[in-house]
Structure 1
Amino acid sequence: MLRLLPSAGTPRVPLRGMLVYALALLFFSGMDAVSRYLALRHPVPQVAWLRYGVHLLLMTVIFGPSMGRTLLHTQRRALILLRSLCLFFITLFMMFALRRLPLAEATSILFVAPLLVVLLARPVLQERIGVVRWVAVLVGFSGVLLVVRPGGDLDAIGVGFALMTALAGTAYQLMTRILSHTENPIVMLYYSALVGTVLFGVSLPWFWFEAMPSLLDAVLYGSLGVLGFVGHLCFTLAYRDAPASLLAPVTYLQLVWAGLLGWLIFGQLPDGYTLLGMLIVAASGIVVAIAGRAQDDVAG
């Protein structure tokens, strides 16, 4: 079975971990770009079901022979199912947001989630926050407001879906942090794929191929599951070589990937105010991550 954490005596390579993590973020941005392309042409539940279905198939083929029934073994099944439900809503809301918003702008709004996690870390996780992180969170929210500013060109309904995605993402991140102490990441990932496949599959009789996909669309449908699976796998493997505190600031590289893919695929470039807001959000998130790492070092 694939090792998810370094074994005793195996040296970590932080730079390699950061590079693998950056690659994971590129796969996630690519998945969002493909989702946006397909969601503009086909029903969202159909796109999402095929994305999760391919993901589930790959995990079953790759991990099933070695893990068997342990793929479903968990100590806290109810919480894992709730976490998987959050990911279901993340996918649903995000795809609806991508139908109405450019890729870079939608991605930048999603980064409200890490800031909300900081706000909820004290009451939910009993973590200390500190003045620096409080200030960084407030500045980060100002950056988001700059992106979605009144009078801007962004679709209000699309912004609403992006914000709902961020709220679901906040719950998802908090539950991931709680479960990470007791659960196998592969098992959590398998449950996410299974729940998404089942829930989106329920809607298929109402949406199944309203418009038949072209050959290109069929290839892109298959790539969704591959991008999601490889992205999550790289995301997990990155933690073999680098601690979470070192990887957290790298997360904001996803804004860069989203901007580049939005430009290359859809010809969409954020305006000056939006770029400034994105930079503020990214800078605030990096400060939050670095301040949290310094606080953990002091506590340790």
Structure 2
Amino acid sequence: MSSRAQGAQAQRGATAASGPPPGSARTASAPSVSAQPLAGIALLLVSMWALSSLDASGKWVMAAGVPMLLLSWVRYASHFAVALALIVPVKGWRILASRKPREQMLRGGAMLGATLLFFTTLRYLPQAEATAINFLAPLIVLLLAPWALREPPRLSRWIAAGVAFLGVLVIIRPGGGLDPVGTMFGLAGAFCFSAQYIASRRVAADDPLTSVIWSGGVGTVVLSVALPYVVPTALPVLRDLDPLHWCVLVSTGVTGCFGHLLQIAAYRKAAASTLAPFTYLQIVSSTTTGWLIWGHFPDALTWVGIAIICGSGITIGVLEWRRARRPPARP
């Protein structure tokens, strides 16, 4: 789920944790949400296919021998370049200015950590199962909300997180065929994604396009430090890559950037509460790409676990939405 580092789950997780999603149209600097729910849903679905393609592309080029750190650098550098090329001509260089640069750097660091953990997970686990484990992240945000976001504790959130974790246990059950190392990386990645979502709340005053640029920039700068140590050992593999592998490698950042921009457009067309249930359809795009490329399709029990996680997330999302719409009690 490196691809989803600012993706639909971040939007959903922050929404469920009360208030508008970070980087959505409801932030202070963004325009108001327009009443075009079908357009918003369509944009969200396209973005999920783009981001699932990124996940599949990363897994594919790693299978060809490309080191994970080099893949991540290309993913962030091309994301950063595309974001600058598309956003700056329209918004001007002022779009780079952040009201909270420290928080943006923390968010970018959390996103980078989530990327590295998810790409590592993809080396061990099928794409669908890795994606399903990461659906825990928004519910972890709800679990930590009383401390991380200073929100009142709610039993419904704890129950939802507990039920979702049971779903994960069904997926990673003994005898399920999943590599335990990949499973541990997947769970660690879910916690890292939750940290990114919480950090996203802290930069909600920035234009969401600013966050798109900063997320690519932070990852590029940090990974550039490691590049001199990675490239020499990767040169033999890079020399043997054919043009298709090079195109797929570079496409990771392009599809990632476009996926994030499409999500921003989706949340400007429709309310987060409208889009929240559809974010779980990413499991469809992840399963489809995994099946088309590697011939892997989750078994029946794995689908039960996926359904438990998705059902828990959708249920708590509806409860939080209804609670937010409830008029405040009179004194």
TM-score normalised per structure 1 = 0.93
- AA in 2 matched with 1:237: A
Per the alignment, in what secondary structure is the counterpart of residue 178 of structure 2? coil
SS in 2 for 1:127: coil
How far apart, in 2, do the equivalents of 1:78 and 1:11 lie? 31
Compute the displacement of 1:105 (Å): 0.6
Are 2:117 and 1:96 equivalent residues in the alignment? Answer: no
Larger displacement relative to structure 2 (90-99 or 131-140): 131-140
| Displacement after TM superposition at 1:68 (Å) | 3.6
Are the counterparts in 1 of residues 139 and 157 from structure 2 also a CA contact under 8 Å? no
Query: Aligned AA for 1:157?
Result: V
Shift of the 63–29 alpha-carbon distance from structure 1 to 2, 3 Å rule, reads same
Establish whether residue 233 from structure 1 lines up as the match of residue 258 from structure 2: no
Cα distance in 1 for partners of 2:250, 2:261 equals 17
Deviation at 1:54, TM superposition (A): 1.1
Shift, 1:129, TM fit: 5.5
2:228 corresponding residue in structure 1: 205
- The residue number in structure 2 matching 1:120 is 144
Aligned-partner residue type, residue 99 of structure 1: R
Which letter does structure 1 place at the counterpart of 2:291? W
1:21 to 27, 44, 57: 44
* In 1, Cα distance between equivalents of 2:151 and 2:293: 41
Q: CA deviation at 1:43?
A: 0.2
Where does residue 300 of structure 2 map in the other structure?
272
- Count residues in correspondence: 296
Which residue of structure 2 aligns with residue 242 of structure 1?
Answer: 270
Mean Cα displacement is larger for which, 55-64 or 201-210?
201-210
Distance 1:201 1:11, change over 3 A: closer
C-alpha distance in structure 1 between counterparts of 2:253 and 2:154, whole Å: 40
Q: Give 1:130 deviation, angstroms.
A: 4.0
Moved more, 277-286 or 58-67: 58-67
**What is the RMSD of the two structures over their aligned residues, measured on CA atoms?**
1.9
Q: Distance in 1 between matches of 2:201 and 2:272?
A: 11
Match of 2:72? 48
- Measured after TM superposition, the shift of residue 7 of structure 1 is 5.0
Identical amino acids, percent of aligned pairs: 34
Instruction: List gaps (5 residues or longer) in structure 2.
Output: 1-23
Alpha-carbon distance in structure 2 between the residues aligned to 1:129 and 1:253: 29
Separation in 2 of the partners of 1:129 and 1:264? 43
Q: 2:99 aligns with which of 49, 69, 75?
A: 75
Structure 1 unaligned blocks of 5 or more: none
Name the amino acid aligned to 2:286.
Answer: A
Q: By how many angstroms is 1:272 displaced?
A: 1.8
Q: Deviations over 1:100-149 (max 9, x none)?
A: 11000100111110110111122222334644443222211100011111
Whole-Å separation in 2 of the counterparts to 1:246 and 1:173: 19
